[in-house]
């Protein structure tokens, strides 16, 4: 098992290296000059050139890349062009809202989607099954920002149950923290409820046709016990896999949701950095998101290895 983990970790290094090169080149080759953004609309060409020199953007691309990689190797993410702060400090200051939103989203999605998927599989072909699948298709089809604005209109503007936007840190009180977190988490969980419910239904439906399920029913076991102890347990691997993929896909959803609800997390930081052409911040964030994605895929593979002894060697 340890050798397998080490091999996967070593295989992740070239992936992150390719991501680093591509992100660096794409930012430099796309239109826009961060020096012009920082200098302002009324800045002269001399002032813009001076800002470029201060930022080190006047150096050749290989030199800029070597400096960036050298700093990364020393654990230094660099300094933001736009925010004038250490990128590590920026990330630490924004990570709580993002982690809170991601954790709440997956908690809601798992608690709602898995029972729905199990019931839909048990009532295969019934009106309940068709409703669950229809809602799942709708959840996939509607963009996150549309769901967000609908949630705001219904629950914030019309009913007044939740604030329209904003975030309160956990240190400011648990009540206010949860009150401002519920609506964004519900918004983002819709697509993951659809994803996990469909996978749960398909996996449990396949397991329900196995011989040991018929044997358990022949012994007179309660249907609820058969569904959740036998069927769901043996269908767990693909469900856990899709939950892990959903966590990795949260990166894109968090960016949109944090922008809609004005949550000062890593997603909102990414948008602000892109608009400001803040090269160091964008590079650090994308590389960090890529690392998280690789780590989650490794954890998914380890989950498979727990159920398949052949992968351990």
User: What is the predicted pLDDT for the residue at 309?
Assistant: 47
Q: Digits of tens for pLDDT over the chain (313 positions)?
A: 667 667 777 777 888 888 888 888 888 877 777 777 777 777 777 888 888 888 787 788 888 888 888 888 888 888 888 888 888 888 888 888 888 888 899 899 888 888 888 888 877 778 887 888 888 888 778 888 888 889 899 998 888 888 888 888 888 888 888 988 999 999 888 888 888 888 888 887 877 777 666 677 676 666 677 776 667 777 777 777 778 777 777 776 788 888 888 888 888 888 888 888 888 888 888 888 888 887 877 777 776 655 554 444 4
Q: Is 78 exposed, middle or buried (0-12, 13-18, 19+ CB in 10 A)?
A: middle
Residue 219: the pLDDT is 67
Q: Which helix (H) or strand (E) holds 41?
A: none
pLDDT tens-digit series, residues 183-192: 999 988 888 8
pLDDT (0 to 100) of residue 1: 62
CB 55 within 8 A of CB 81: yes
Residue 244 has a CB neighbour count (10 Å cut-off) of 19
- The Cα 139–Cα 213 span in angstroms is 31
Concatenating the DSSP letter of every residue in 48-81 gives: HHHHHHHHTTTS-HHHHHHHHHHHHHTT---B-T
Looking at every residue in the chain, the average pLDDT score rounds to 80
Q: Which of 79, 30, 76, 86 lies closest to 54 in space, CA to CA? A: 79
Please name the residues in contact with 122: beta carbons below 8 A apart, sequence gap of 6 or more: 204, 208, 223, 227
Residue pair 128/207 in contact (Cβ under 8 Å)? The answer is no
| Number of C-beta neighbours around residue 207 at 10 A | 19
Task: Determine the pLDDT at residue 139.
Answer: 79
> Structure tokens of 180?
């401002």
3-state secondary structure of 86: strand
pLDDT on residue 304? 62
The pLDDT value recorded for residue 252 is: 65
Please, which residues bridge with residue 86 across strands? 79
Decide if 104 contacts 181 (C-beta within 8 A): yes
Alpha-carbon span 192 to 129, nearest angstrom: 18
Check the CA dihedral 143-147-148-150 and report its sign.
Answer: positive
Print burial letters for 44-76: b (CB count within 10 Å at least 16), e (below 16). eeeebeebbeebebeeeeeebbeebeebbeeee
């Amino acid at each position: 098992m340890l050798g397998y983990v080490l091999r996967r970790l070593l295989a992740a290094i070239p992936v992150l290296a390719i991501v680093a090169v591509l992100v660096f080149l794409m930012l430099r080759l796309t239109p826009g000059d961060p020096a012009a953004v920082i200098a302002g609309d009324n800045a002269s060409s001399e002032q813009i050139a001076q800002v470029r020199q201060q930022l080190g953007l006047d150096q050749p691309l290989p030199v800029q890349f070597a400096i960036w990689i050298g700093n990364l190797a020393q654990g230094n993410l660099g300094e933001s062009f736009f925010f004038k702060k250490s990128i590590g400090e920026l990330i630490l200051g924004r990570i709580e809202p993002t982690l809170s939103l991601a954790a709440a989203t997956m908690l809601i999605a798992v608690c709602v989607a898995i029972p729905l998927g199990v019931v839909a599989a048990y009532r295969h072909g019934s009106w309940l099954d068709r409703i669950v699948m229809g809602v799942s298709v709708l959840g996939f089809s509607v963009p996150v920002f549309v769901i967000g604005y609908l949630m705001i209109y219904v629950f914030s503007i019309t009913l007044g149950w939740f604030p329209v936007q904003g975030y309160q840190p956990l240190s400011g009180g648990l009540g206010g923290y949860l009150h401002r977190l519920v609506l964004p988490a519900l918004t983002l969980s819709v697509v993951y409820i659809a994803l996990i419910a469909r996978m749960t239904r398909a996996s449990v439906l396949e397991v329900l046709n196995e011989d040991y399920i018929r044997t358990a029913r022949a012994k007179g076991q309660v249907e609820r016990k058969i569904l959740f102890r036998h069927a769901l347990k043996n269908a767990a691997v693909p469900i856990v896999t899709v939950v892990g993929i959903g966590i990795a896909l949260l990166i894109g959803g968090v960016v949109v949701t944090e922008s809609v609800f004005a949550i000062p997390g890593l997603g909102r930081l990414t948008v602000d950095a892109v608009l400001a052409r803040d090269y160091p911040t964008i590079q650090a964030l994308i590389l960090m998101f890529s690392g998280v994605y690789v780590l989650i895929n490794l954890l998914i593979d380890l989950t498979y290895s727990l159920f398949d002894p052949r992968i351990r060697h």
